[in-house]
Amino acid sequence: MLKSHPQDFVRTWIEIDRRSLFFNLRKFQKFAGKALVMAVVKSNAYGHGLALIAKCLTTKDKRMWLGVDSVTEALRLRREGIKNPILVLGYTLPMRLAEAAKNNIAVTASHFEALANLARAKKRPQLHIKIDTSMHRQGFQEDDLPRLIRELRKEHLMPEGVYSHLASAENKQFSKKQIAAFTRALNFMRSAGVALKHVHIASTGGIMRYRLPFANLVRLGLGLYGYLPDRRVGIVRPVLTWKTIIGEVKRVKKGDCIGYDMTERLKRDSTIAILPIGYWHGFDRGLSKIGEVLIHGKRCRVLGRVSMDMAVVDVTDIDRKLKIKNEKVKIGDEVVLIGRQGREFIGADEMAKRIGTISYEVLTRINPLIFRTVI
Q: Which residues are catalytic?
A: 42, 260
CA 51 from chain centre, in angstroms, equals 13
Handedness of CA 157, 162, 166, 172 (dihedral sign): positive
- Distances in Å between the Cα of 276 and the Cα atoms of 84, 245, 288, 365 are 38, 7, 15, 17
Instruction: Tally the C-alpha atoms within 13 A of residue 368's C-alpha that lie toward its C-beta.
Output: 11
Sequence letter at residue 201: I
Measured in Å, how far apart are the chain's first and last C-alpha atoms?
7
Report the relative pairing of strands 248-252 and 127-130 from DSSP bridges.
Answer: unpaired
What is the C-alpha separation between 216 and 222, in angstroms, rounded? 20
Sequence letter at residue 328: K
CA 274 from chain centre, in angstroms, equals 28
If one counts every other C-beta atom within 10 angstroms of the C-beta of residue 146, the result is 11
Using DSSP's 3-state secondary structure scheme, residue 173 falls into helix
